[in-house]
Structure 1
Amino acid sequence: MSTDYQQAREALGLRLRELRLNAPGGRLTGSELARALGWPPSKVSKLELGKQTAAPVDLRAWSDALGQPEAYDELKARLAGFESQIRSWKRQLSGGHRPVQDAHNAAQAEAKLLRAWESSWVVGILQTPDYARAILTRFADLHNSRHDIETGVRARMKRRDLLYAPGRRYRIIMSEAVLRALVCSPSVLAAQLSHLSGIIGLDTVELGIVPFAASLKLPPGSGFWIYDDHHAVTETWHSELWIDDAESVATYLRVWRTLRESAVFGAEAQNLINAAQRALIAR
Structure 2
Amino acid sequence: MSSPLNSTSNPSSVHEARASLGRRLRELRRAAGLNGRQLAESLSWPPSKVSKLENGRQTPTDDDIRRWTDATGSPEAAEALLIALHTLEVQHAEWRNVLRAGLRPHQQQLASWEARTRLFRVFEATVIPGLLQTPDYARARFAEGARRLDVPGDIDAAVAGRMRRQDILYRADKRFHVLLTEAALRFRLCAPHAMLGQLDRLMSLSQLPNVRLGVIAFETAYTVAPWHGFWLYDDARVVVETLSAELDLRQPQEIELYGAAFRQLAQVASYGRAARTVINRVIEDLAPHAADDGA
Same fold per TM (> 0.5)?
yes
C-alpha distance in 1 between matches for 2:100 and 2:132? 26
Q: Note closer, same or farther for the CA distance 1:19–1:229 as it changes in structure 2 (3 Å cut).
A: same
Q: Specify the alignment match of 1:89 in structure 2.
A: 95
Q: Specify the alignment match of 2:271 in structure 1.
A: 265
Q: Specify the alignment match of 2:203 in structure 1.
A: 197
Superposition RMSD in Å: 3.1
Give the CA deviation at 1:3.
Answer: 5.2
Q: Which is further off, 70-79 or 251-260?
A: 70-79
C-alpha distance in 2 between matches for 1:99 and 1:135? 16
User: 1:19-76, CA deviations, whole angstroms, 9 ceiling, x for partnerless residues?
Assistant: 78999xxxxx6357535xxx76765664455432123455567678999887654333
Q: Note closer, same or farther for the CA distance 1:173–1:69 as it changes in structure 2 (3 Å cut).
A: same
Q: Check whether the contact 1:30–1:45 (CA below 8 A) recurs between aligned residues.
A: no
* More contact order relative to length (CA 8 Å, sep ≥ 6): 2
Give the CA deviation at 1:126.
Answer: 0.4
SS in 1 for 2:268: coil
Instruction: State the TM-score, normalized to the length of structure 2.
Output: 0.78
1:183 aligns with 2:189: yes
1:30 aligns with 2:30: no
Q: Specify the alignment match of 1:109 in structure 2.
A: 115
Match of residue 280, structure 2, among 257, 274, 277:
274
1:12 aligns with 2:26: no
Match of residue 240, structure 2, among 234, 242, 246:
234
1:163 aligns with 2:148: no
Q: Which amino acid letter does the alignment assign opposite residue 182 of structure 1?
A: R
Q: Specify the alignment match of 1:53 in structure 2.
A: 59
Q: Note closer, same or farther for the CA distance 1:94–1:13 as it changes in structure 2 (3 Å cut).
A: farther
Q: Check whether the contact 2:43–2:67 (CA below 8 A) recurs between aligned residues.
A: no
Q: Specify the alignment match of 1:79 in structure 2.
A: 85
Q: Note closer, same or farther for the CA distance 1:194–1:101 as it changes in structure 2 (3 Å cut).
A: same
Q: Specify the alignment match of 1:26 in structure 2.
A: none
Q: Note closer, same or farther for the CA distance 1:111–1:4 as it changes in structure 2 (3 Å cut).
A: closer
Give the CA deviation at 1:85.
Answer: 2.3
SS in 2 for 1:256: helix
C-alpha distance in 2 between matches for 1:168 and 1:40? 52
Q: Check whether the contact 2:39–2:71 (CA below 8 A) recurs between aligned residues.
A: no
Give the CA deviation at 1:167.
Answer: 0.9
Instruction: State the TM-score, normalized to the length of structure 1.
Output: 0.81
1:254 aligns with 2:260: yes
C-alpha distance in 2 between matches for 1:157 and 1:67? 52
Q: Which amino acid letter does the alignment assign opposite residue 12 of structure 1?
A: L
Unpaired runs of 5+ residues, structure 1, are 24-28
Q: Check whether the contact 2:238–2:258 (CA below 8 A) recurs between aligned residues.
A: yes
Count of residue pairs brought into register by the alignment: 276
Match of residue 139, structure 1, among 142, 145, 153:
145
Q: Specify the alignment match of 1:129 in structure 2.
A: 135
Identical aligned residues as a percent:
38
C-alpha distance in 2 between matches for 1:270 and 1:101? 29
Q: Specify the alignment match of 2:4 in structure 1.
A: none
Q: Which amino acid letter does the alignment assign opposite residue 18 of structure 2?
A: R
Q: Check whether the contact 1:88–1:238 (CA below 8 A) recurs between aligned residues.
A: yes
Q: Check whether the contact 2:139–2:159 (CA below 8 A) recurs between aligned residues.
A: yes
Q: Which is further off, 4-13 or 197-206?
A: 4-13
